[in-house]
Chains A and B, each alone.
Chain A
Amino acid sequence: MIYLDNAATTLAKPDSVARAMTAALTGQGSSGRSAHPAALAASRSVFRTRVTLAALLGVSDPARICFSANITEALNLALNGSLQPGAHVISTDWEHNSVLRPLYRLREQGVALDFVPADLRGRLDASAWERLLRPETRAVVCTQASNVTGDQMDLAAVAAFCHRHGLRLIVDGAQGAGLLPVDLEGQGWPDIYCFTGHKALYGPQGTGGLAIQKGVDIKPWNVGGSGVDSFNEQQPQDYPVRLEAGTLNGPGLAGLAAGARYVTEQTPARLLGQASALAQLFYRQLSPVPALRFYGDFSCWPRVPVLAMNIAGFDSGLVADLLADRYGIAIRSGIHCAPRLHRALGTASQGALRFSWSSFNTEEETRQAVRAVRELAADLTGQPAGGFPGSGGV
């Protein structure tokens, strides 16, 4: 199988990830609950994960790395813990349902929403931010990079907008963490950065969390066991316990630490460069093919290695199934939990084919995918492959 569905989850991980998880599963107790050797081993392991992520994300105090089951939970914590009825929040058409659905639920509770619109090419209307501002605007929530097109948000500009107007900036880093630079304290933004462990941080599924800027107050959503201050009827207010009720995913977080250490050693810039070069090869070989339509901005490389396209008007599910069945190529079709962007792109009924790379993919895999898409486009459209520019080059 050629796995090009890394925007969903990275399948190939550093060997150290499985080793760390096995060691935690077989040798560690529950973190933060006791002082016997097994519990201390777990506490130290979780702490090392916090330290590794804090360093990677530019947070000086590891206590401001709070873990969650995934980034959806992290975003729910950030949004529900930041917005009160009567507040107004600005988001964008690029957002995943992990942002949209919490926002729509908050709207039912009296939070007002507006979205910076995307055009037919997926470009956001940069002039809309100021236009959408209201006196009661309290926050902006946006993705670091689209999970459909791979287009990157101009976060520096969004942060400047938030700074001018005193707004909290919450960033969905699902597609960016491990690839794009994040430096909360160095840059002074965002206020809350939500990350997932199982994509470009190469950790296991079931891990994610929030990196929180100093002084940012998030009301807890889950409350419960913390292992400390047990006679207190309220959840302890100090991070990370404030947002971490219940037993943590010790084996998962041990794996996340190993993945994050790999990212730190390799550096996000190098990992982005490797995966982006493969996406660029794919795009350059296929963009001249008339039957193919690409979505997004390909003017600047390296870019997040996520690429959306379609073959003429063919159902993306059909094409994805043919790619898997005939060529053993695994990609994601459909709407990618991003309904607003697909509406903007005009692909709400067709969906799109999403190819996404990691640093573990190879040039040969990418060339095989190019050949497969070319063959499939010729087969589906009835246009001879020889008629496609560049058909002999792969």
Chain B
Amino acid sequence: MYQPTVHLIIAFGQTTAALKMETCCQHEGLPGRLIPLPQQIRAGCGLVWAAAPEAENSLTEMMERQQIAVQGIYTLYF
């Protein structure tokens, strides 16, 4: 049976930001992947970055350094 887990979800205002996130994460070997926007979140982009919660610090550090505009960071259980 499907076992829900806790996910770190990073939402963006624009698809370009989500794709920049993917490019930067791949380049720097950071964890996560793009998934559809969970319906409990409202955001300008239909894609979010999903990763394990423990990756939050490394991801936010990279986003600040790379100037990736974020609309919200959430911890969701699904």
Which of B36, B46, B78 has the most C-beta atoms of chain A within 10 angstroms of its own C-beta? B36
Assess the A318–B38 pair: CB atoms within 8 A. yes
How far apart are B78's CB and chain A's nearest CB, in angstroms? Answer: 5
What is the bound-complex CA distance between A317 and B1, given in angstroms?
Answer: 18
Closest to B50 in A: A321
Q: Per-position contact with B for A179-195: 1 when CB-CB < 8 Å, else 0? A: 00000000000000000
Assess the A333–B36 pair: CB atoms within 8 A. yes
Assess the B39–A350 pair: CB atoms within 8 A. yes
Assess the A349–B39 pair: CB atoms within 8 A. yes
How far apart are A337's CB and chain B's nearest CB, in angstroms? Answer: 10
Closest to A348 in B: B39
Chain B interface residue count, Cβ-Cβ cutoff 8 angstroms: 10
Assess the A334–B78 pair: CB atoms within 8 A. no
Q: Which of A291-337 contact B (CB under 8 A)?
A: 315-318, 320-322, 333-334
What is the bound-complex CA distance between A382 and B3, given in angstroms?
Answer: 10
What is the bound-complex CA distance between A121 and B39, given in angstroms?
Answer: 21
Cβ-neighbour of B78 out of A315, A333, A351, A382 (below 8 A): A315
Decide if B37 is an interface residue (CB 8 Å cutoff).
Answer: yes
Assess the B37–A317 pair: CB atoms within 8 A. yes
Assess the B38–A317 pair: CB atoms within 8 A. yes
Assess the A380–B2 pair: CB atoms within 8 A. yes
Assess the A315–B38 pair: CB atoms within 8 A. yes
Assess the A334–B39 pair: CB atoms within 8 A. yes
Closest to B7 in A: A318
What is the bound-complex CA distance between A317 and B47, given in angstroms?
Answer: 10
Q: Per-position contact with A for B25-68: 1 when CB-CB < 8 Å, else 0? A: 00000000001111110000010000000000000000000000
Interface of B is mostly: loop
Assess the B2–A317 pair: CB atoms within 8 A. no
Assess the B39–A351 pair: CB atoms within 8 A. yes
How far apart are B15's CB and chain A's nearest CB, in angstroms? Answer: 13
Chain A interface residue count, Cβ-Cβ cutoff 8 angstroms: 15
Decide if A125 is an interface residue (CB 8 Å cutoff).
Answer: no
Decide if A379 is an interface residue (CB 8 Å cutoff).
Answer: yes
| Chain A residues, Cβ within 8 Å of B38 | 315, 317-318
| Chain A residues, Cβ within 8 Å of B1 | 379-380, 382
Assuming the contacts A321-B35, A334-B46, asked whether A315 and B40 have C-beta atoms less than 8 A apart, the reply is yes
Assuming the contacts A315-B78, A334-B46, asked whether A321 and B36 have C-beta atoms less than 8 A apart, the reply is yes
What is the bound-complex CA distance between A379 and B39, given in angstroms?
Answer: 20
| Chain B residues, Cβ within 8 Å of A321 | 35-36
Cβ-neighbour of B2 out of A320, A351, A379 (below 8 A): A379
How far apart are B40's CB and chain A's nearest CB, in angstroms? Answer: 7
How far apart are B61's CB and chain A's nearest CB, in angstroms? Answer: 26
What is the bound-complex CA distance between A351 and B36, given in angstroms?
Answer: 11
Assess the B2–A334 pair: CB atoms within 8 A. no
Closest to A378 in B: B1
Cβ-neighbour of B36 out of A320, A350, A382 (below 8 A): A320
Which of A315, A317, A322, A382 has the most C-beta atoms of chain B within 10 angstroms of its own C-beta? A317
| Chain A residues, Cβ within 8 Å of B35 | 317, 321
Closest to B41 in A: A317
Assess the B2–A316 pair: CB atoms within 8 A. no
How far apart are B48's CB and chain A's nearest CB, in angstroms? Answer: 9
Closest to B36 in A: A317
Q: Which 4 pairs from chain A and chain B are nearest by CB?
A: A317-B36, A321-B35, A379-B2, A351-B39
